[in-house]
Structure 1
Amino acid sequence: MSFTARRLPSHRGPAAWAELLKNAPQYPLLEDKITADIAVIGAGFAGLSAVRRILQLDPSARVVLLEAGRIAQGAAGRNSGFMIDLPHDLASDDYAGSGDDEMLVTLNRHAIRFAAQAVEDYQIISDFFDPVGKVNGAATHQGDAHNRSYAAHLTALGERSEWLDAQAMQDLTGSRHYRSGLYTPGTVMLQPAGYVRGLAQGLNKAAQIHENTPVLSIRRAGAGWRLKTPKGQVDAGRVITAVNGHLESFGIAKGRLLQLFLFASMSEELGAEARAALGGAPRWGVTPADPMGTTMRRIDPGQGGHRIVTRTAAVVRPGLKPHERDLKRAAHMHRLKFAERFPRLASVRQAYVWGGHLCLSLNSVAHAREVEDGFFSACVQNGLGTARGTLTGIAAAERACGAASDVTAFFDAEAELKRLPPQPFATLGANAVLRWKEWRAGAE
């Protein structure tokens, strides 16, 4: 049995969160033939969490972690940094999920505790992991209705939320755009690149980490597996692939994955005059009441400077490579959305614009299972890479070490990924639905 990579990760625009940080640690390119008990492919939330969980279960394990690019330059350093504890189904109208919501909340909080303990153990900068909560912001009557529906769902689950009126939203954000908001306290706001780098630095004391070392092939070798890289080779008894949608690049789950890119921008540093004109709190995060709306986030120097992040615009690209026109379209949309919310900051420019890769399945399930004997996956996070990625990494590690928990039981019980319609209809249909949902979201 063998798996050969047909493509490698590709990104558009800089990974802004990483650009804000200085003195990035470097890990060597693999240029030798080495052996390991377990090899982990991918140094994002899933891969790093898998390494940490392996070492918790078996501190003597020889673990090798291989990252195709630089740590925090890939998808893990390109998300908006919301580690959310509550139901957050992007395919729904108001984030309310299915009958598994109570279990999902329990598991998401398990992931948050797992990450919080890593922050403590590895002395990661506390500003990079801020348990401040978040707000669903509503700009329209429809958005307001979505928030009320979601609040009722949370009440039924026994979860706390707080309603914010228009004045409270202005006091928080400095913007008059929002008519209401729904605050929930359990979300952690990450500086994603800072958290991921800190996690890697902590793990590097017990695991062997290699950057700029893409895995080109994985094949059975005796009782274990052999991984080929451009200049090296790893023979490992067990393998965990934590590459999200790039699972399909190895020929796994073909025709079952929606490869989507979501775009974000980050403003230039807000000077004293701009901050005074804006007002509001120095740090906050607002997700849209409509899942296809616009996410906004303000950060302060503890996370990389006085800046505002705008995230909206999505496109499906089955080739796992966004187009330059996708980035230009997103940048234009971001300028409009920013100006709608902060007209007093009309002269503030976007310092960074980038695209980040997400992978979804039609039935919103992960690919977290044993692919072959001794070969495990921690993939397909369905746009919830921080919490769900952490969980799939934990599950893969536990399976690889022969352990079981509520985390592994949850993923064991998930259905198989549904097959997509044939191409090009799957991509054409998905992009048409995205454009329609963006239009429907309107001012949200």
Structure 2
Amino acid sequence: MADRYTARRLPRDPGPSGWLEIIGEVPAYPQLEDGITADVVVIGAGFTGLSAARRLADNDPSLSVVVLEAGHVAAGPAGRNSGFMIDLPHDLGGDSYVSNIDHDRKQITLNRKAQDFARAMAAEYAMPEEAVDPCGRINGAADRSGQNHNLEYTTHLDKLGESYTILSADDMERITGTPFYTGGLYMPGTIMLQPALYITRLARGMTTTLANRVSLYERTPALEMQRNGSGWIVQTPKGSVTAGTVIMAVNGHAESFGFYKKRLMHVFTYASMTRELDQDSMNAIGGEPKWNITPSDPMGTTIRRINGVGGNRIVVRNRWSFDSSMEVTEGRVKRFARSHRESFRKRFPQLEGIDFPYQWAGRLCLSMNSVPAFGMVDTNLVSACCQNGLGTAKGTLAGMASADLVTGHRTDIVREMESGEDPKKLPPWPISSIGANSVIKFREFKARKEL
């Protein structure tokens, strides 16, 4: 334990996220420019941080909570993911999504608690339908290997007692408008989010209805946490927060403060969004006005067709990179955007050349053993980090659990989050970097039919 923890770098998020750009004007929050006090300070205003703040307010209405966001709300990873809030097993670290039955049953129960939280927030704050849409998702298969992945998955779902619908190639073409897919697996339990819309509305709702208890500051990165008796002083560029407890809701950025050194894998994935589709484009594509496809192979292409706020568009996500620096260049984003265009062309050749005005990278944090970096890492200093690529559900759960832990509520979520082992130590650099990127390239090659 140290007297102070200093950030050796700050988050960087290349490329503006289309999710945030298309929703129009959003509330602005002040930059902290003074020394203030609070009972709890939450670092990070993404899924984890905002869920923690709301849960704290629910658990103990007497608490004062300050949330610090390094950039702008929904401009970071929370507003850059693809918006799948998945209830079922979905291990991105393996060759398939599944684990063992007992483990997966527990995870399903927890994931559905996160979904319940999102539904409750959407109802309370009257969010638009596409912010939190319980419409399910499809695992799309592009070849025999993909169909075998789906069949393997159905065997696991049968053991879990979960429902699904097997889709034929004709079904997939009717839904998507493209003959690209040879089959699919529809799972009704996934909630689809417009991530930036959900995060901005959650932040606005909380800071409006709980204004006397929850405060939010943008452009206010935490630079240092200094011990102050049993509490902490969090230094920011122009101010400070003196608080009894700190919750770090910063995912892989926890390592920047010196926690979980060489135990967290910093991975980027990349996405592009089309311009708004006009009527001619929609007629050319055909299919349904909205659908959501994850690849049957985890390294394939995730693709969504959306409508509502921001118009009718298609979002393409694929390609991965391991970057221990937690930074990637704009050039990398542009290079992978070409891959997105090729993926789009393979599915919709009739719209080849369509403009993709938004391309971006999103930071993920994985551990080798697919466990979170959760718990009390120092006196009254809680880590709610490492969501293993499932930030919508796992981030929400980590936020809820961290608030329960701070307020002394020994809930099932806390017990489950604390029951696992710590993230395993990574091989030394550069072996870890070379090895991880080699594995990514090999697995992308195996999934090439689904890219």
CA–CA distance in structure 2, aligned partners of residues 285 and 252 of structure 1: 36
Shift of 1:261: 0.5
Q: Could you tell me which of 206, 228, 231 is aligned with 1:224?
A: 231
CA–CA distance in structure 1, aligned partners of residues 313 and 40 of structure 2: 40
Partner of 1:392: 398
Q: Could you tell me which of 418, 422, 426 is aligned with 1:420?
A: 426
Shift of 1:158: 0.3
1:114 correspondence with 2:132: no
Seq. identity, %: 49
Question: Could you list the per-position Cα deviations for residues 56-93 of structure 1 after superposition, in whole angstroms to 9, with x for gaps in the alignment?
Answer: 10112100000000000000000001100100011222
CA–CA distance in structure 1, aligned partners of residues 254 and 108 of structure 2: 26
How do residues 328-339 of structure 1 correspond to structure 2 at under 5 angstroms?
Answer: 328-339=334-345
Q: CA RMSD in A?
A: 0.9
Shift of 1:129: 0.7
How do residues 354-365 of structure 1 correspond to structure 2 at under 5 angstroms?
Answer: 354-365=360-371
Question: Could you list the per-position Cα deviations for residues 329-362 of structure 1 after superposition, in whole angstroms to 9, with x for gaps in the alignment?
Answer: 2111111111111111113121111000000000
Question: SS state of the match for residue 431, structure 1?
Answer: helix
Aligned pairs, number: 443
Ranges in structure 1 where 5+ consecutive residues have no aligned partner:
none
Letter in 2 for 1:118: M
Shift of 1:373: 1.4
Letter in 1 for 2:196: A
Q: Could you tell me which of 379, 384, 390 is aligned with 1:378?
A: 384
Partner of 2:353: 347
More displaced, 395-404 or 122-131?
A: 122-131
Letter in 2 for 1:442: R
TM-score w.r.t. structure 2 length?
0.97
1:2 correspondence with 2:9: no
CA–CA distance in structure 2, aligned partners of residues 304 and 293 of structure 1: 26
How do residues 1-400 of structure 1 correspond to structure 2 at under 5 angstroms?
Answer: 1-98=3-100, 99-205=102-208, 206=210, 207-300=214-307, 302-400=308-406
CA–CA distance in structure 2, aligned partners of residues 416 and 387 of structure 1: 20
TM-score w.r.t. structure 1 length?
0.99
Whether the aligned pair in 1 keeps the contact of 2:165 and 2:186 (CA below 8 Å) is yes
Question: SS state of the match for residue 347, structure 1?
Answer: coil
Shift of 1:303: 3.7
Shift of 1:2: 1.2
More displaced, 321-330 or 428-437?
A: 321-330
Shift of 1:304: 2.0
CA–CA distance in structure 1, aligned partners of residues 395 and 302 of structure 2: 20
Letter in 1 for 2:275: E
Question: SS state of the match for residue 118, structure 1?
Answer: helix
Letter in 1 for 2:160: L
Shift of 1:268: 1.0
More displaced, 62-71 or 218-227?
A: 218-227
Ranges in structure 2 where 5+ consecutive residues have no aligned partner:
none
Whether the aligned pair in 1 keeps the contact of 2:426 and 2:432 (CA below 8 Å) is yes
Letter in 2 for 1:237: G
Whether the aligned pair in 1 keeps the contact of 2:273 and 2:315 (CA below 8 Å) is yes
Whether the aligned pair in 2 keeps the contact of 1:94 and 1:147 (CA below 8 Å) is no
Whether the aligned pair in 2 keeps the contact of 1:248 and 1:254 (CA below 8 Å) is yes
Letter in 2 for 1:406: D
Question: SS state of the match for residue 248, structure 1?
Answer: helix
Shift of 1:410: 0.6
CA–CA distance in structure 2, aligned partners of residues 229 and 123 of structure 1: 33
Letter in 2 for 1:294: T
Question: SS state of the match for residue 418, structure 1?
Answer: coil
Whether the aligned pair in 1 keeps the contact of 2:125 and 2:202 (CA below 8 Å) is yes
CA–CA distance in structure 1, aligned partners of residues 330 and 118 of structure 2: 35
